[in-house]
């Protein structure tokens, strides 16, 4: 069973994100298109915030923090 927030028509999209974001192949294989989607960082963040994520919030789940000088 796929994640109910995943849509593949006409392009891959995650409805947990308010902006136009295409989940990576890694995300699709590990979270979007499997029974274990409850561990998805995007879904967990959306549930914590109580609203769809903005693109920057989505990227924060997957990109390491940058050092500020």
Question: What one-character-per-residue DSSP string does the chain give?
Answer: ---TTEE-SSS-EETTBSS--PPPHHHIIIIITSTTGGG-HHHHHHHHHTSPBPHHHHHHTTSPPPP--
- Measure the CA–CA gap between 28 and 24, rounded to whole angstroms: 6
- Domain extent listing, the chain: 6-60
pTM: 0.83
Alpha carbon distance 49, 52 (integer Å): 8
pLDDT per residue as tens, the chain (69 positions): 789 999 988 889 999 999 888 999 999 999 999 888 999 999 999 999 999 999 999 999 888 777 776
């Amino acid at each position: 069973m796929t994640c109910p927030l995943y849509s593949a028509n006409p392009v891959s999209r995650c409805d947990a994100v308010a902006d136009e974001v295409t989940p990576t192949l890694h995300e699709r294989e590990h979270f979007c298109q499997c029974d274990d989607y409850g561990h998805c960082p995007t879904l967990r963040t959306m549930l914590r915030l109580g609203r769809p994520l903005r693109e920057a919030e989505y990227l924060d789940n997957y990109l390491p923090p940058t050092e500020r000088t």
